[in-house]
Amino acid sequence: MRKVITTEKAPAALGPYSQGIEINGVLYVSGQIPFVPETMTLVSDDVKAQTRQSLENVKAILEVAGYTMQDVVKAGVFIKNMDDFVAINEVYAEYLGDVKPARACVEVARLPKDVKVEIEVIAVK
């Protein structure tokens, strides 16, 4: 059974997609950019602050669906500049360091709203 997951504790979708989709005990969380949900504005220009906000947005979607960061099995991290890799990993480790999900991290030419990082996850109960 397919269930659409939405919460006001994460930024509203910027296009025709859902914040998350749960099916058969698996939650797919769409890429989260570092927007503050209440204002739909960029949290900061600082890459660590952007990473933290992206992960807070991911966490909010997980929680509303009844999952935790401990349930994450796969993450996709999209970054604007590979020179930010170490800084992003420092914050990422605060949220997922003990979990150590499978992960891809790629540098991309451009992200929505010209942010520096976007993070998506898959979680399993």
Separation of alpha carbons 10 and 114, rounded Å: 18
Separation of alpha carbons 36 and 44, rounded Å: 10
**Active-site residue among 105, 111, 113, 122?**
105
Separation of alpha carbons 67 and 16, rounded Å: 24
Contact, 43 vs 53, CB < 8 A? yes
Catalytic residue list contains 40: no
Q: What does 26-69 look like in DSSP terms, one character per residue?
A: EEEEEEE-SEETTTTEE--S-HHHHHHHHHHHHHHHHHHTT--G
Could you give the residue numbers annotated as active site? 105
